[in-house]
Structure 1
Amino acid sequence: MISFGKILFFPILFLLSLIYKILFFLDRSLKKKRTLPSSITISVGNFSVGGTGKTPFTLHLAKLLHSNFPNIPIVILSRGYGSSGKGTRRVIENSSATEVGDEPLLLKKNLPFAEVYVGSNRYDSYLQFRSENKIPTDQKVFALLDDGFQHHALNRDLDLVLLDCTKLSKMEFVLPFGLLRESYSSVSRANFLIASKFSGEWEVLLSKWIGKYKPSQTLRFRFSPQKLVPLSLGESEVSIKELTGKSVFGFAGLGNPESFYSSLKDQNLFELKTKSYPDHYSYTKGDLIQISEKSSGQDYIICTEKDGVKITSLIKNDMDFSNWFYLRLETVLENESKLISSIRNFI
Structure 2
Amino acid sequence: MLRHLRKYLLPFALMYGLVVRIRNFLYDMEILRSVEFDIPVIGVGNITVGGTGKTPHVEYLVRFLKKQYRTAVLSRGYRRLSGGFVSASPDVTAAQIGDEPLQIYRKFPDIDLAVDADRIRGIRLLLEKNPSLEVIVLDDAFQHRRVKPGLMILLIDHNRMITDDLLLPAGNLREPVSGIQRAHIIIVTKCPPDMKPVDCRIIESKLRPLTHQKVFFSFLRYGDLLPVYKNAAPALPPEKLKAKNAHVFLVSGIANPAPLEHFMEQYAARLTRFVFPDHHRYSPRDLIKIFKAYDQSDAPEKYIITTEKDAMRLQTMNDIDDDIRRRFYYLPVEVGFSGEDEKLFQKEITGFIHRMQQSRIISTYRK
- TM-score, reference length from structure 2: 0.85
Question: Aligned residue for 1:241?
Answer: 239
Does residue 118 (structure 1) correspond to residue 109 (structure 2)? The answer is no
Q: Which structure 1 residue ranges, 4+ long, deviate > 6 Å from structure 2?
A: none
> Which secondary structure state, in structure 2, belongs to the residue aligned with residue 4 of structure 1?
helix
> Which secondary structure state, in structure 2, belongs to the residue aligned with residue 220 of structure 1?
strand
Question: Aligned residue for 1:32?
Answer: 33
Question: Aligned residue for 2:307?
Answer: 304
Which residues in structure 2 correspond to 1:149-164 (within 5 Å)? 149-164=142-157
Measure, in 2, the Cα distance between the counterparts of 1:4 and 1:93: 49
AA in 1 matched with 2:95: T
Question: Aligned residue for 2:361?
Answer: none
Question: Aligned residue for 1:197?
Answer: 190
Which residues in structure 2 correspond to 1:49-128 (within 5 Å)? 49-67=49-67, 69=68, 72-128=69-125
> Which secondary structure state, in structure 2, belongs to the residue aligned with residue 6 of structure 1?
helix
AA in 1 matched with 2:332: R
Question: Aligned residue for 2:362?
Answer: none
Question: Aligned residue for 1:341?
Answer: 347
> Which secondary structure state, in structure 2, belongs to the residue aligned with residue 87 of structure 1?
coil
Measure, in 1, the Cα distance between the counterparts of 2:96 and 2:278: 16
- What percentage of residue pairs aligned between the two structures are identical? 25
Which residues in structure 2 correspond to 1:133-152 (within 5 Å)? 133=130, 135=131, 139=132, 141-152=134-145
Q: Is the 8 A contact 2:60 2:334 kept in 1?
A: no
Between structures 1 and 2, the one with greater strand share: 1
Give the CA deviation at 1:163.
0.8
Give the CA deviation at 1:58.
0.5
Question: Aligned residue for 2:201?
Answer: 207
Q: Is the 8 A contact 1:165 1:202 kept in 2?
A: no
Question: Aligned residue for 2:252?
Answer: 252
Question: Aligned residue for 2:316?
Answer: 313
Residues 213-237 of structure 1, C-alpha deviation per residue, up to 9 Å, x if partnerless?
2222111111122111011233111
> Which secondary structure state, in structure 2, belongs to the residue aligned with residue 77 of structure 1?
strand
> Which secondary structure state, in structure 2, belongs to the residue aligned with residue 295 of structure 1?
helix
Give the CA deviation at 1:132.
2.3
Q: Is the 8 A contact 1:231 1:321 kept in 2?
A: yes
Measure, in 2, the Cα distance between the counterparts of 1:219 and 1:89: 33
Query: In terms of mean alpha carbon deviation, does 25-34 or 188-197 score higher?
Result: 25-34
Query: In terms of mean alpha carbon deviation, does 272-281 or 313-322 score higher?
Result: 313-322
> Which secondary structure state, in structure 1, belongs to the residue aligned with residue 332 of structure 2?
strand
Question: Aligned residue for 2:330?
Answer: 326
Q: Is the 8 A contact 1:27 1:152 kept in 2?
A: no
Q: Summarize the Cα distance change of 1:202–1:173 in structure 2 as closer, same or farther, 3 Å threshold.
A: farther
AA in 2 matched with 1:207: R
Measure, in 2, the Cα distance between the counterparts of 1:213 and 1:234: 46
Measure, in 1, the Cα distance between the counterparts of 2:103 and 2:303: 22
> Which secondary structure state, in structure 1, belongs to the residue aligned with residue 325 of structure 2?
coil
Q: Summarize the Cα distance change of 1:202–1:165 in structure 2 as closer, same or farther, 3 Å threshold.
A: farther
AA in 2 matched with 1:321: R
Give the CA deviation at 1:169.
9.6
> Which secondary structure state, in structure 2, belongs to the residue aligned with residue 238 of structure 1?
coil
> Which secondary structure state, in structure 1, belongs to the residue aligned with residue 224 of structure 2?
strand
Superposed CA RMSD: 2.2
> Which secondary structure state, in structure 1, belongs to the residue aligned with residue 315 of structure 2?
helix
Q: Is the 8 A contact 2:75 2:116 kept in 1?
A: yes
Q: Is the 8 A contact 1:165 1:206 kept in 2?
A: no
Measure, in 2, the Cα distance between the counterparts of 1:163 and 1:182: 13
Measure, in 1, the Cα distance between the counterparts of 2:26 and 2:72: 26
Which residues in structure 2 correspond to 1:215-230 (within 5 Å)? 215=209, 216-230=213-227
Q: Summarize the Cα distance change of 1:290–1:23 in structure 2 as closer, same or farther, 3 Å threshold.
A: farther
- TM-score, reference length from structure 1: 0.90
Q: Is the 8 A contact 2:184 2:214 kept in 1?
A: yes
Question: Aligned residue for 1:129?
Answer: 126
Query: In terms of mean alpha carbon deviation, does 299-308 or 27-36 score higher?
Result: 27-36
Residues 274-302 of structure 1, C-alpha deviation per residue, up to 9 Å, x if partnerless?
11111111112222121111233261110
